Amino acid sequence: MFSRYKKQPSAQPVETPPPAAAPATAPAETANTTAVARKPIKKKVAEVVGNDKERKRKERLGEIKLELHRELLENLNLAALEKADEAELRTEISAISSEVLEARNIVLNREDRTQLNKELYDEVTGLGPLETLLQDDTVNDILVNGPQQIFVERSGKLEISDITFKDEKHLMRIIDKIVSAVGRRVDESNPYVDARLADGSRFNAMVPPIAVDGSLVSIRKFKKDKLGIDDLVNFGAFTEEMAAYLQAAVSTRLNIIVSGGTGSGKTTTLNALSSFIDDAERILTIEDTAELQLQQTHVGRMESRPPNVEGKGEVSPRDCLKNALRMRPDRIIVGETRGAEVIDMLQAMNTGHDGSMTTIHANSARDGISRLENMIAMAGIEMPIKAVRSQISSAVNLLVQASRLQDGSRRMTSITEITGMEGDVISMQEIFKFQRVGLTPDNKIIGHFTATGVRSHYSERFRLWGFDLPSSIYDPTTM
Ligand SMILES: Nc1ncnc2c1ncn2[C@@H]1O[C@H](COP(=O)(O)OP(=O)(O)O)[C@@H](O)[C@H]1O
Ligand SMILES: [Mg+2]
């Protein structure tokens, strides 16, 4: 039963993180140089973008491409295009482009020609310049700030890419293509839109005049393989001991809220936690954008729907949740709680759907509680604050904090239990936390995970359910 925590703490000491003494040397070093040593200011983006000659070449290619694109649209039978297979279409595009280049007396080397044909193909069938980034598996997020600036996120770090759009019109055309494919519209009177791409990636766009310097686009790419518990332990997101604790918490059906900022790894954590759910249980998931990838057999997935262009047809997360309660779930997982559905979520947690989970946007466990209180107030529920808090404290057992630290690493910075009420206040106890101790010269965070020394409020429950955690797990000196 107790499969996670295999290490015998006495026989085999748990791997110890760098001792707290390490950072003590860093300040000593700076003290030796000058009294006030400022760090060099980071390079401006423009200096990194590339040299002039390369840019001119790109510009020229861009102009040729635009011209060719117009030509292609005139010459290709767009209706037939949908049925054409890829090889056929590529041949066709390359034939037309050769013709045009020849007619205009433009000579390109083989590399540029291949590149040009690829870009034309992407323009005609896909999302133009974005296509390369969408296909690049190392890219997690794509952030477009107007036509000339595209940033990408790779392993937690933002970097500028050398890909650009020709101009705002070009960018708008691609945005239009994306949103019209999902039956939405974006224009001056409807300046922003949230949508899901065919591959599951999440797409958001905001266009001028609300976006001042050109359209803003953000794409969170759909990860085909979500990170599992073992991956996260290997990446240092949390420790094996914390994983063992979380396994006990999920298996014994504690109600869990994962809290964190945008992109902090909430969904990833929720997904990983769900792997501890027994395969025999019926799980219903509710999300804005279906991202979770549960491994269990018995899973019913729901995706809420925003209103359409005419403002009709909305199916809110709350609608889904209300209906889910009539569908005999063992557990309910709500991708993110951000509105009125909080009422039904807490009710579900309180009324027999133990082991339910969700995420919220908050910066700490305490902040998470205030968020819940705010959401309840915003939903128009008039209840004395004490009643609201007692509702929260009896519904939620555990708050898990996900954070994206300044060096781009994502860590579970705190695991906190809710233990009840003391007067008007919800009482909580932290069990594990990430202890930050310093910064390396190249700005990597130094720190380690530690138990706080507080024994779980649920230890007896864990034991009764067969997840008897050794007491060393709560010992701050063994981690
Ligand atoms: N511990 C981690 N180590 C590395 N990458 C991670 C980690 N946790 C999450 N990620 C990646 O970070 C990105 C954002 O994670 P996600 O769970 O979608 O965040 P959120 O739901 O908080 O917005 C994803 O690409 C995900 O794969
Ligand atoms: Mg998320």
Structure confidence by residue, pLDDT tens digits, 242-295: 999 999 999 999 999 999 999 899 999 999 999 999 999 999 999 988 889 998
Count of domains in the chain?
Answer: 3
| Shared domain check, 105 and 173 | no
Task: Examine residue 6 and state whether it is found in any structural domain, yes or no.
Answer: no
Whether residue 351 is contained in a domain is answered as yes
pLDDT at 166 over 90: no
142 in the same domain as 103: no
| Boundary of a domain, candidates 188, 203, 222 | 222
What does DSSP say about strands 398-404 and 256-260: parallel, antiparallel, or unpaired?
parallel
10 Å CB burial of residue 315 (0-12, 13-18, 19+) is middle
User: Which residues are registered as beta bridge partners of 398?
Assistant: 256, 417
Q: Which atom number of ligand 1 is nearest to the Cα of residue 140?
A: 25
266-274 helix and 240-251 helix, angle to the nearest 10 degrees: 60
Contact 285, 335 (CB under 8 A): yes
Neighbouring-strand partners of residue 152: 142, 159
Q: In this structure, are 252 and 109 located in the same domain?
A: no
Ligand lying closest to the C-alpha of residue 258: 1
Phi and psi of 132, rounded to 5°?
Answer: -60, -45
Residues 345, 474 within the same domain:
yes
Residue 263 lies in a domain: yes
Residue 418 lies in a domain: yes
Task: Please state the atom number of ligand 1 nearest to the C-alpha of residue 261.
Answer: 22
Distance from Cα 243 to the centre of ligand 1, integer Å: 17
**Do both 239 and 138 map to the same domain?**
no
Q: 266 C-alpha vs ligand 1 centroid, how far in Å?
A: 7
Q: Is residue 416 part of a domain?
A: yes
Domain containing 207 — which CATH number? 3.30.450.90
Shared domain for 186 and 78, answered yes or no, is no
Q: Which residues surround ligand 2, an ion (CB under 5 A)?
A: 266-267
Residues 287 and 378 in one domain: yes
Ligand nearest to the backbone CA of 223: 1
Ligand 1 neighbours by CB, cut-off 6 Å:
140, 223, 227, 232, 235, 237, 260, 262-268, 410
Tokens of 435: 């202890």
**CATH no. for residue 257?**
3.40.50.300
Distance 396 CA to ligand 1 centre (A): 23
Domain assignment present for 325: yes
**Ligand 1 center to residue 183 CA distance, Å?**
29
For ligand 2, the distance from its centroid to the CA atom of residue 158, given in whole angstroms, is 18
197 CA to middle of ligand 1, Å? 19
One domain for residues 96 and 140: no
Per-residue pLDDT at 73 = 66
Looking from the CA of residue 359, the nearest atom of ligand 1 is 21
Summary mean pLDDT of the chain: 86
pLDDT of residue 13: 41
Residue of 268, 289, 434, 444 with the most ligand 1 atoms within 8 Å of its CB, for mutation: 268
- Residue 267 alpha carbon to ligand 2 centre in Å: 4
For residues 258 and 349, state if they share a domain.
yes
- At residue 11, the pLDDT reads 39
Give the separation between CA 114 and CA 110, rounded to whole angstroms: 6
Looking at all shown ligands, the one closest to residue 266's CA atom is 1
Give start and end residues of each alpha helix (H) in 325-443: 341-350, 365-378, 385-395
- If asked whether residues 139 and 212 sit together in one domain, one would say yes
Say yes or no to pLDDT of 190 above 60. yes
Residue type, 334: V
| Lowest-confidence segment of 37-46, 92-101, 347-356, 428-437 by average pLDDT | 37-46
For 236, residues 6+ apart whose C-beta sits below 8 A from its C-beta are 409, 411
Residue 383 token pair: 């209840």
* Statement to judge: residues 160 and 289 lie in one domain: no
Cα–Cα distance, 358 to 363 (Å, whole number)? 15
Question: What residue owns the CA closest to ligand 1's atom 11?
Answer: 265
Boundary residue ending a domain (222, 257, 285): 222
- Smallest CA-to-CA distance from 185 within 276, 282, 76, 309 is with 309
Closest ligand to the CA of 411: 1
Cα-to-centroid distance, 28 and ligand 2 (Å):
41
**What are the tokens at 299?**
């899973």
Structure-token pair, residue 68: 């060719």
Q: Which of helix, strand or coil describes residue 134?
A: helix
Burial of 352 (0-12, 13-18, 19+ CB in 10 A): exposed
Q: In this structure, how many other beta carbons lie within 10 angstroms of the beta carbon of residue 99? A: 13
Q: Is residue 21 part of a domain?
A: no
Residue located nearest, by CA, to atom 23 of ligand 1: 263
Check if the beta carbon of residue 338 is closer than 8 Å to that of residue 361: yes
Domain co-membership, 240 together with 365: yes
Q: Which one of 410, 411, 449 would you pick to mutate in the ligand 1 pocket, going by the greatest count of ligand atoms within 8 A of its CB?
A: 410
Domain ranges, residue 137: 131-222
Number of H helices, E strands in the chain: 16, 15
Q: Is residue 15 part of a domain?
A: no
Which one is predicted more confidently, 48 or 479? 479
Chain centroid to CA 232? 14
User: Using one digit for the tens of pLDDT, what is the confidence trace for 3-25?
Assistant: 565 444 443 444 444 444 444 44
Final residue of a structural domain among 222, 239, 260: 222
Tokens 């310097």: give the residue. Answer: 213
Token pair of 14, please? 């748990």
pLDDT at position 311:
80
Nearest CA to ligand 1 atom 3: 410
Q: Which two tokens stand for residue 333?
A: 């997982």
Distance CA 157, CA 171 (A): 24
Centre of ligand 2 to C-alpha 97, Å, is 43
